[in-house]
């Protein structure tokens, strides 16, 4: 039997690798679900709260002027964010799911003979094109940040960051695609198995290497000078049972006025990193933020996230094989037939890079809301850890208010914003947790902050 759309029915020998890939994808995604179910703190602050849980209310802790500024900033940032997202997806899908991408790559790589160079050229052409298309919307967002005083960069420095980010993208995509195409050409029917294993290893390596390889590309780090703050932060980490090698200061002020800190690295590379913009805050507030970050280390959130990411990407590779080996999909992408001199299926043609990028983009877009949901729960658990460690809900609430005002955070994100962008609870939600924690532990409940 044959289908006019897909052609002759593939023989049983060709169906076996597809069945195996489907089973592997199901097993790997089931593993992701199991790890998420076990590791995600669905109730970050366990237990009953006397009198019921506090309701997040921006008007309770933020002045009308602060609320109005937050809304105005959100309304100014929404157009470039949503328009840039829509245009980016339209271009990626237009290039990948129609012959346009194959034609573009065929034209730009026509003079390149060796397949590794063609793949590398295709990766550079596509990532550069997409960055250039998104650049006006990024610049629009940067202009909004400047207007509201959040960005301190010159346009030259901003363009330099864009260039460095593009260079990192080139390296990651080129390495990943070269490894993938080597397997595609060598094992045309079972490349997905090696690619899934390689993806697992690559995600793990990148996660461990990022703090010492990628972070220094964008920031300079200096040890925090000896003094009470350094001593207290190291003592708090020791009291929390989180080994920390050093406390570093990142020169974040050269690009932003936002406040932040984080714990980076693993084992002997783990360090507390504090934005230099944060150092002017009162010491108890700095300790509250660092305690939150120590919560991530205490609960091994990066390790769990790496495992989930590695399993998810491996499952995605198996799913990618099922889609990229479909005659219908290949035909729609303009790579249904083998290119002259190419080995393997149509997906082994370097012109199919646009299709692969579109499929990967579709997968990350669909999985994004789930990742954001899990992230909000993990961040809420880190907040609870900070409260347990400092036992100072008043300072925690004051710090969350200061962070929200300084960073002009969205105090009441709508459903779509929570799905697409929100990786953290809102400021009012975090302050409400502090009040819940205080009532659970019979501590002084933070008073309303709007009138202070």
pLDDT digits (tens, 9 = 90+) for 205-216: 888 887 778 788
In 201-240, which positions are buried (b, 16+ CB within 10 angstroms) versus exposed (e)? ebbeebbbeebeeebeeebebeebeeeebbebbbebbeeb
Where do the structural domains in the chain lie, given as residue ranges? 16-221+295-440, 222-294
340 vs 277, residue with greater confidence = 277
> Across all residues in the chain, what is the average pLDDT?
90
Matching CATH number, 222-294, of 3.40.50.300, 3.40.50.2020, 3.30.2010.10, 3.10.110.10: 3.30.2010.10
Residue 42's CB: how many other CB atoms inside 10 A?
Answer: 11
What integer pLDDT is reported at residue 244 of this predicted model? 86
pLDDT mean over 433-443: 94
pLDDT at res. 33 = 96
3-state secondary structure the chain: CEECCCEECCCHHHHHHHHHHHHHHHHHHHHHHHHHHHHCCCCCCCCCCCCCCCCCCHHHHCCHHHHHHHHHHHHHHHHHHHHHHHHHHHHHHHHHCCHHHHHHHHHHCCCCCCHHHHHHHHHHHHHHHHHHHHHHHHHHHHHHHHHCCCECCCHHHHHHHHHHHHHHHHHHHHHHHHHHHHHHHHCCCCHHHHHHHHHHHHHHHHHHHHHHHCHHHHCCEEECCCCHHHHHHHHHHHHCCCCCCEEEEECHHHCECCCCEEEECCHHHCEEEEEHHHCCCCHHHHHHHHHHHHHHHHCCHHHHHHHHHHHHHHHHHHHHHHHHCCHHHHHHCCCCCCCCCCCCCHHHCHHHHHHHHHHHHHHHHHHHHHHHHHHHHHHHHHHHHHHHHHCCHHHHHHHHHHHHHHCCCCCCCCHHHHHHCCCCCCHHHHHHHHHHHHHHCCCCCCCCCCCC
What span, in angstroms and rounded, lies between the C-alpha atoms of 99 and 334?
4
Q: Is residue 3 over pLDDT 70?
A: no
pLDDT for residue 268: 65
Cα gap 144→138, rounded to integer Å: 10
Q: pLDDT band at 110, cuts 50/70/90?
A: confident
Give the span between the Cα atoms of 56 and 411, in whole angstroms.
9
264-274: average pLDDT: 79
| pLDDT(11) > 70 | no
Question: How far apart, in Å, are the Cα atoms of 375 and each of 379, 425, 427, 435?
Answer: 6, 9, 15, 22
Better pLDDT: 325 or 125: 125
Distance (Å, whole) CA 299 – CA 66: 34
Q: Residue 13 has what pLDDT?
A: 52
């Amino acid at each position: 039997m044959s289908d006019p759309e897909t052609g002759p029915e593939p023989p049983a020998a060709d169906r076996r690798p597809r069945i195996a890939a489907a089973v592997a994808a199901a097993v790997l995604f089931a593993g992701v679900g199991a790890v998420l179910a076990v590791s995600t703190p669905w109730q970050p602050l366990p237990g009953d709260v006397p009198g019921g849980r506090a309701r997040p209310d921006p008007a309770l802790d933020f002045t009308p002027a602060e609320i109005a500024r937050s809304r105005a900033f959100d309304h100014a940032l929404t157009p470039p964010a949503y328009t840039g997202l829509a245009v980016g997806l339209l271009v990626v899908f237009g290039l990948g799911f129609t012959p346009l991408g194959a034609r573009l790559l065929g034209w730009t790589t026509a003079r390149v003979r060796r397949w590794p160079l063609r793949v590398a050229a295709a990766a550079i052409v596509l990532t550069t094109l997409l960055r250039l298309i998104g650049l006006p919307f990024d610049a629009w967002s940067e202009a909004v940040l400047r207007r509201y005083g959040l960005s301190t960069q010159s346009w030259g420095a901003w363009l330099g960051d864009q260039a460095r980010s593009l260079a990192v993208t080139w390296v990651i995509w080129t390495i990943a695609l070269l490894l993938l195409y080597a397997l595609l050409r060598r094992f045309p029917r079972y490349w997905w198995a090696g690619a899934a294993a390689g993806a697992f290893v690559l995600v793990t390596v990148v996660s461990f290497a990022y703090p010492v390889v990628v972070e220094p590309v964008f920031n300079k780090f200096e040890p925090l000078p000896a003094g009470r703050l350094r001593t207290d932060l190291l003592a708090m980490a020791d009291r929390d049972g989180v080994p920390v090698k050093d406390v570093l200061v990142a020169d974040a002020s050269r690009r932003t006025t936002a406040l932040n800190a984080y714990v980076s690295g693993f084992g002997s590379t783990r360090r507390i990193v504090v934005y230099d913009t944060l150092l002017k805050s009162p010491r108890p507030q700095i300790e509250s933020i660092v305690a939150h970050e120590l919560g991530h280390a205490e609960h091994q959130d990066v390790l769990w996230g790496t495992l989930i990411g590695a399993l998810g990407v491996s499952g995605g590779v198996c799913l990618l094989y099922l889609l990229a080996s479909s005659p219908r999909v290949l035909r729609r992408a303009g790579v249904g037939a083998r290119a002259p001199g190419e080995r393997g299926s149509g997906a082994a043609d370097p012109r199919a890079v646009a299709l692969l990028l579109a499929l990967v983009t579709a997968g990350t877009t669909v999985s994004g809301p789930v990742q954001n949901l899990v992230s909000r729960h993990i961040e809420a658990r880190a907040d609870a850890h900070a409260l347990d460690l400092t036992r100072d809900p008043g300072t925690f609430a004051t710090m969350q208010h200061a962070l929200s005002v300084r960073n002009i955070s969205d105090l009441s994100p709508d459903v779509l914003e929570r799905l697409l962008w929100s990786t953290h609870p809102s400021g009012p939600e975090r302050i409400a947790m502090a009040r819940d924690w205080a009532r659970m532990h019979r501590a002084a409940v933070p008073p309303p902050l709007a009138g202070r």
